[in-house]
Amino acid sequence: MADDAHAAHAPWKRTAAAAGLVDAEGQARPTIFAEMSALAAEHGAINLGQGFPDDDGPAEVLEAAVEAIRGGINQYPPGRGFADLRHAVAEHQQRFYGLDVNPESGVLVTAGATEAIAASLLAFAGPGDEVITFEPYYDAYAAVIGLSGARQVTVRLQSPDFQPVPAEIDAAFSDRTRLVVLNSPHNPTGSILEREHIERIVALAAKHDAVIVSDEVYEHLVYDGRRHVPVAAAAGAAERTLTVSSAAKTFSVTGWKIGWVTGPAALIDAVIAVKQWLTYVNGAPFQGAVATGLRMPDEFFDELRATLQRRRDLLAAGLIDAGFSIAPTAGSYFIVAEPPAALSLGDAATSARALALDPGVVSIPLSAFGRSDGGVSQTALRFAFCKPDDAIAEAARRLQTLRR
């Protein structure tokens, strides 16, 4: 078998191969986001694929980072992150959600949400363990679960509203369940996990003594008057939940890679034990700037939400005009859409590449967020609306030409 031959010749790549992170030749597979962004750049297409904003974040936040660099905040910060940021994170959880977080023992600053997720998974899951994710899932979860050696167990989110079926949640838990990864608002579908499901998951996690990792990076991107409610706010959840978030989406600084994880001291200590060997510490001059951002007045957060909601509506209308059928987006940066069947574009991986070339609009195949047998639509595309109005309008205009 190719895998065995490969492993025999390159034993140092065995872990990556087992986790599906390299191709048959042992080359690293680029992420779907990197691949589609490269295609956008190559063909001058409008990039509604990888979720990053074109606009800069708030001037106060950017200025604070510049001042920090000029002011000499350029050496290793403390292992848990600067106290100022840890306190700002705790204040933020109290201000928006009424959650008590201990800034000394209950907050860890990480290299983006990505490292918070990776360190949490590696801290609690290993060979013989099971980790539950909801499918479609953000691709990094599967990659890191693979690296940990644990087994990924998935629960389908059913279109069009992308909620799970209670019986399937029950069936996913076993005595081997060590972790449950939740993500709401959800990438890629834009759904918000209903309260009844969260309560069910918390009760099952308690029964099986599993830890919940709740990825809440889109916490401030919740639309139509709804408000984000963290998983840790559910009854009985706080004692077993690690809540992950990041500056990337809230302050439009995806390149800074400042994230954090909050939770009970014992769980945070376990995550630190891994994090300190991954990156040790990260992003000294950005940490104070993110603290500034977290303390911004309510108007900033309201305006961010209003802007993104307007852009969601603009993209939704444009996709509908182009003949796509769309799933409702309650939060996040994303709309999931099925291309018109009459276009006969083929599977999503094929159609996303074809649309990048003509009419020049990049999206992400939804199938990249799941396994081929996991019930994820093999034709749907994910479009990001964290882009200027004129880019969204032009993308819509281009897609509409397909029907003429």
Contact positions toward ligand GLN, by CB under 6 A?
31, 33, 50-51, 187
51 vs 57, beta carbon nearer ligand PMP? 51
Residue 223 and residue 309 in contact, taking contact as beta carbons nearer than 8 Å = yes
User: Which residues does 341 contact at the CB level (< 8 Å), separation at least 6?
Assistant: none
What does the H/E/C string look like for 99-122?
A: CCCCCCCCEEEECHHHHHHHHHHH
Residues 4-33 that bind ligand PMP (CB under 6 A): none
DSSP-derived 3-state class of residue 350: helix
Interaction of residue 259 with ligand PMP, rule CB under 6 A: yes
103 vs 188, beta carbon nearer ligand GLN? 188
- Separation CA 136–CA 59 (nearest Å): 35
Bridge partners, 22 (sequence order)? 28
Bridge partners, 215 (sequence order)? 183, 244
Pick the binder of ligand PMP from 215, 275, 331, 361 (CB under 6 A).
215
Pick the binder of ligand PMP from 254, 325, 378, 400 (CB under 6 A).
254
Number of alpha carbons in the 13 Å side-chain half-sphere of residue 308: 33
User: Which residues does 362 contact at the CB level (< 8 Å), separation at least 6?
Assistant: 36, 37, 39, 40, 45, 46, 47, 48, 49, 352, 355, 356
SS3 content of the chain, % helix, strand, coil (to 5): 45, 15, 40
Q: Which stretch binds ligand PMP (CB under 6 A): 9-17, 35-43, 146-154, 253-261?
A: 253-261
96 binds, among ligand GLN, ligand PMP, none (CB under 5 to 8 A by kind): none
Provide the minimum distance between the beta carbon of 114 and ligand PMP in the complex, in angstroms, as a whole number.
3
Provide the minimum distance between the beta carbon of 358 and ligand PMP in the complex, in angstroms, as a whole number.
28
- Separation CA 344–CA 224 (nearest Å): 34
Provide the minimum distance between the beta carbon of 247 and ligand PMP in the complex, in angstroms, as a whole number.
7
- Separation CA 260–CA 286 (nearest Å): 13
Pick the binder of ligand PMP from 152, 241, 246, 292 (CB under 6 A).
246
Interaction of residue 378 with ligand PMP, rule CB under 6 A: no
Interaction of residue 135 with ligand PMP, rule CB under 6 A: no
177 binds, among ligand GLN, ligand PMP, none (CB under 5 to 8 A by kind): none
Residues 90-129 that bind ligand PMP (CB under 6 A): 112-114
183 vs 191, beta carbon nearer ligand PMP? 183
Q: What does the block give as tokens for 236?
A: 């009985």
Residues 150-189 that bind ligand PMP (CB under 6 A): 183, 187
| Sites of contact with ligand PMP (CB under 6 A) | 51, 112-114, 138, 183, 187, 215, 217, 246, 248, 254, 257, 259
